[in-house]
Amino acid sequence: MLKTPVLRLATLCATLIFSLAFACQSGGPPEIRAERVVMVSFDGVGADLAWRWIADGTAASPDGLRGLAESGFSAERLRMVDPTLTAVNHATLATGRNAAGTGIVNNWYRHPGTSIIERISGFTASSDAETLWEAARRSGLTVATLVWPGADGEAPDRRGDFGAVWPGPPLAASELLDLEPGTAGTTGEVPSADGLAPLLWRFEVGLGSADPKSVTALVALVDSNPDGRPRYDAAAMRLENASDWSYVGEMEWFELGFEAQGGRDDRSRSYGAWCKVLRIDRLDGGLRLYVGGAHRLRAYPEAFEDRLTEAIGPWPGEPDREQLAAWWLDLAAGIDLDTFLEQSERLDRYLDRMAEWVLAEEDPDLVLAYHPSADEYQHASLITDELQWAFSPGRALAAREGLARVGRSIDASVKALWSVLEPERDALVVVSDHGLVSIHEIVRPNMVLETAGLLKIASDGRRLRIAADTPMVATASGAAINLYLNLEGREPDGVVSSSEAPDLLRRAARAFADLEVEGRPVTEKIFTRAEAVAVGLDSPNAGDLVVFLAPGFAASAGLDGPNHEPSRYYGQHGYLAAHDEMCGMLFARGAGIKKNRRGEIPATAVAPMVARWLGFEMSTPGGGPE
């Protein structure tokens, strides 16, 4: 929706009038208001990591992070709220309130008064506090939310005027295919040099309950170089119902694009699956093929989704952490580090194009955008500790170089955004939600409760589940755990009386306090709900006990296996915000922003700061730098 010059002028005048009123209340606004603000969150880029990238030249562009640090506003550390989780801190960045103020106390948690076995995602929950997109729209401004966590578009208070949302699970999962020459046919549709007959395979991509239920792809190996030496060196690809072949070499990518109606779709949509030729047996003709997950772009409203999909294509998918985890332990398995990083960079460039298109075509006043690449990478590859399962000096070096490559991609995204803004009227704000630390052990909190006789597990013959009459249950993400009593009078089918509750809580606290791995305490801190006010978690949504694990340990939701075991992934967050490693970054540049470098700023200051730069006020005000 392009604004006309008259509408833009009217909006700006109204904003300036409101700004003058706000200035009288706040002791004076900045000299210049930003007409448009773009705030982008790079998930998982801790403050120390961001400043290291600037110092060592990883982020070298004068229009990237270094330019923001040298020419704009910055903080040495952005102190996040507890727990240092993605859903929690994106709610804080959007509201200026801590977890008690938003009610979003974890990535996964419970609401009081619901069944003990029900849990809520913090990514699809409404905040108790007004968000930036609500306040901006209330003030007559236009807002785009581009995959911002918590703005899922499913409720009026969780959407801007238009936006893209996290697409969720793929229509078809990724897979690795080893195609052997003995199973191949041949074809005359594609040429092959030096007398070497093409080898042809068909493979199906299953789409579950979608319409169609599968798509069939053809892949042929050929000799593309008529040099007198018969060698397979290229692959030709097409869908069975298509006519044109695409040619790629070893270690090159191609996209399978098709139309399908998935279970969540109201009509046929455009899907894409990015695939890569990992290995060609040049002599015998074997082929190893990675087939990526099939995704589509999800956005709102529908007409906006159609236009955006036509402009930038289907969602390319996230980096494949499970396949990389397999590779770290066995270099012959999964996908290699370069392949994972190429997926990460593809997603960064896709999100860059999304923001650029929205700014050019829709001209919103406020854009909230999101990139997951640093978080995805560090969960899979923060290999720094000899205690980690995959650790070796060589792997640690490769992982460190990979993280630098992620930094260069993020710097390219910042540069791309800055290049399409107008510094005289626009402001770019770059933030993150937490840092990460390396982990070596996972803990299953529900198994800890079960061992202590505080949790009941049932089975339906196919899988284990938590019994409805369990005395307690744990919900967790990262290093933050909420322990809930199944309390009579509070939960619909509560089984724990008020007289029993104190003893059960003491037993649960003791079970976690006593938990050790080779003499190392697993738990850093345990709070009752009343004590949790000290870390901003005095919310009815928080557990009756709130447990924070010590760095090096992370929680898992599993109901089978031991209480703890070595982790097959290597980076995590959710630890107490008092750890400097959990601090996020804050940089800003553009109209109305003075060159200024601060020490530490609370994450609760960001939303009021953005609102002030755009000339409106949050209904739940907080502090912020002028």
| Rounded Cα–Cα distance for residues 41 and 585 (Å) | 9
What's residue 103's pLDDT?
97
Mean pLDDT for 564-591 is 97
| Rounded Cα–Cα distance for residues 220 and 237 (Å) | 7
DSSP string, 268-294: -EEEEEEEEEEEE-TTT--EEEEEPPB
Domain ranges of the chain: 1-167+299-434+579-626, 171-296, 441-566
Domain at 441-566, CATH class: alpha beta
Judge whether residue 3 has pLDDT over 90: no
Q: Look up residue 426 and give its two tokens.
A: 């626009």
User: C-alpha distances in angstroms, 375 versus 88, 317, 382?
Assistant: 15, 15, 10
Judge whether residue 23 has pLDDT over 70: no
Beta strand 108-109 pairing with 120-121: antiparallel
DSSP 320: -
What's residue 594's pLDDT?
81
Fold of 1-167+299-434+579-626: Alkaline Phosphatase, subunit A (3.40.720)
Query: Model confidence at 96, in pLDDT bands (50, 70, 90)?
Result: very high
Query: Model confidence at 592, in pLDDT bands (50, 70, 90)?
Result: confident
Contacts of 427 (CB under 8 A, 6+ apart): 34, 36, 37, 38, 588, 589, 590, 591, 592, 593, 613
| Rounded Cα–Cα distance for residues 207 and 365 (Å) | 39
DSSP 443: E
Judge whether residue 293 has pLDDT over 60: yes
Query: Would the CA dihedral through 350, 135, 433, 62 be positive or negative?
Result: positive
Q: Look up residue 70 and give its two tokens.
A: 């040298």
Long-range contacts of 392-399 (CB under 8 A, 24+ apart): 395/328, 398/337, 399/337, 399/570
Query: Model confidence at 620, in pLDDT bands (50, 70, 90)?
Result: low
Judge whether residue 13 has pLDDT over 70: no
Of 16-25, 421-430, 588-597, least confident by mean pLDDT is 16-25
Judge whether residue 621 has pLDDT over 50: no
**Tokens 């049932």 identify what position?**
458
Q: Look up residue 585 and give its two tokens.
A: 């970054």
Q: What is the mean pLDDT of the chain?
A: 93
Closest CA to 320 of 284, 347, 288: 347
Judge whether residue 564 has pLDDT over 90: yes
Judge whether residue 153 has pLDDT over 60: yes
What's residue 127's pLDDT?
97
pLDDT tens, residue by residue, 401-450: 999 999 999 999 999 999 999 999 999 999 999 999 999 999 999 999 99
Of 19-33, 354-368, 531-545, 581-595, least confident by mean pLDDT is 19-33
pLDDT tens, residue by residue, 117-129: 999 999 999 999 9
User: C-alpha distances in angstroms, 293 versus 169, 174, 242?
Assistant: 9, 4, 20
Q: Look up residue 10 and give its two tokens.
A: 């009217």
Mean pLDDT for 460-467 is 89
Angle between helices 337-361 and 302-312 (to 10 degrees): 120
Mean pLDDT for 347-361 is 98
User: How many other β-carbons are positioned within 10 Å of the β-carbon of residue 458?
Assistant: 14
Contacts of 233 (CB under 8 A, 6+ apart): 222, 223, 224, 225, 249, 250, 280, 282
